[in-house]
A and B are shown apart, each in its own frame.
Chain A
Amino acid sequence: QKEVEQNSGPLSVPEGAIASLNCTYSDRGSQSFFWYRQYSGKSPELIMSIYSNGDKEDGRFTAQLNKASQYVSLLIRDSQPSDSATYLCASMNRDDKIIFGKGTRLHILP
């Protein structure tokens, strides 16, 4: 069964520090990867997508992909209390279906 695995957390990070979120995926055929942020009681919001090996930066967010290790990560620089949320990692398989991880809860300590 194709899966996306994440540590459920909570991950506690001091305000202003770098938060590092990780996930692994099992389907070697996956080509597209996504990070969503979900606040409690709200729907997921797409914050990053990455398709090729290496780093992709967007503001305070950097997504990293290593297809050989089947590993995706999200770095959040200068963490703010508003970054406290659950972060969902997802990959798209060859059937155009997105597989979601269960999410990592991130808590930014003021």
Chain B
Amino acid sequence: DGGITQSPKYLFRKEGQNVTLSCEQNLNHDAMYWYRQDPGQGLRLIYYSQIVNDFQKGDIAEGYSVSREKKESFPLTVTSAQKNPTAFYLCASMGTGTGYEQYFGPGTRLTVT
């Protein structure tokens, strides 16, 4: 089955700890994205990558880091510098020639206490 997987579905961490969220896709898409969604809010772009070994900051990159060593994978690290990390994190991918349609993974709900 083609798609985007994110793991884990739920993640609990203590304040001050770094945590890495996984995102894998087997759609052969070039571009991948990380968004954050807070209750009652829209999606805010954290980082995006249009090609392997290259990525750009989105609107709220502070306190986050990413890597894109493989086309299929785009992990997101939430560092202790992120002031309000508790949120729903969504990974998406987009292929060229698909009309710029983005498809989302199931999301990871991170709770930091």
Contact = CB atoms under 8 A, between A and B. Distances in A.
What band does the interface of chain A fall in when counting residues whose beta carbon is under 8 Å from B? 20 to 34
Contacts of A57: none
Given A96-B31, A96-B50, A100-B42, A43 B101 contact: no
B42 A43 contact: no
Contact of A34 (B45, B48, B101, B106): B101
Interface in B63-112: 90, 94, 99-107
26 contacts: A8-B40, A32-B99, A32-B100, A34-B102, A36-B104, A42-B106, A43-B90, A43-B104, A43-B106, A43-B107, A44-B90, A45-B104, A46-B104, A51-B99, A88-B43, A96-B31, A96-B50, A96-B100, A97-B48, A98-B45, A98-B100, A98-B102, A101-B42, A102-B41, A102-B42, A103-B42
